[in-house]
Amino acid sequence: MIRSTLRFLALARLALTRSLLVALLFDLSFAAGALAQQSPDPVQSPSDAANQTTRAATPRELALTRGDIQMARKDYTEAVAQYQIALQINAKDAAALNKLGIAYQQLGQLDKAEHSYRLALAADRKLSSASNNWGTLDYQRGRYGKAIKHYTRALAADQKQPVVYSNLGYAYYGNKQYPEAMVAFGKALALDPDVFARKGGVGSVLQSRTAPDPALFNFLLAKFYAKAGDAEHAAHYLKLSRDYGYKEFRSAEKDPAFASVIKDPRVQEVLKVPPSYEDQPQKTAPN
In the chain, domain spans: 58-125, 127-208, 213-276
Rounded CA gap, 135 and 143, in Å? 9
Q: What's the pTM? A: 0.69
Rounded CA gap, 233 and 263, in Å? 14
pLDDT in tens, the chain (287 residues): 444 444 444 444 444 344 433 343 334 343 344 333 443 434 444 444 445 556 788 999 999 999 999 999 999 999 999 999 999 999 999 999 999 999 999 999 999 999 999 999 999 999 999 999 999 999 999 999 999 999 999 999 999 999 999 999 999 999 999 999 989 998 998 898 778 766 555 556 655 566 778 888 889 889 988 988 999 999 999 999 999 989 888 899 999 999 999 999 999 999 998 877 655 444 433 33
Question: Among residues 207, 239, 237, which one has the least CA distance to residue 113?
Answer: 207
**How far from chain centre, in Å, is Cα 78?**
22
- Is the domain spanning 127-208 CATH 1.25.40.10? The answer is yes
SS3 of the chain = CHHHHHHHHHHHHHHHHHHHHHHHHHHHHHHHHHHHHHCCCCCCCHHHHHHHHCCCCCHHHHHHHHHHHHHHCCCHHHHHHHHHHHHHHCCCCHHHHHHHHHHHHHCCCHHHHHHHHHHHHHHCCCCHHHHHHHHHHHHHCCCHHHHHHHHHHHHHHCCCCHHHHHHHHHHHHHCCCHHHHHHHHHHHHHHCCCHHHCCCCCCCCCCCCCCCCHHHHHHHHHHHHHHCCCHHHHHHHHHHHHHCCCCCHHHHHCCHHHCCCCCCHHHHHHHHCCCHHHHCCCCCCCC
For the purposes of burial, counting CB atoms within 10 Å of the CB of 30, is it exposed (0-12), middle (13-18) or buried (19 or more)?
A: exposed
CATH class of 58-125: mainly alpha
Rounded CA gap, 15 and 13, in Å? 5
Count the Cβ atoms, other than its own, within 10 Å of residue 94: 19
Rounded CA gap, 30 and 231, in Å? 81
Longest dimension (CA), the chain: 153
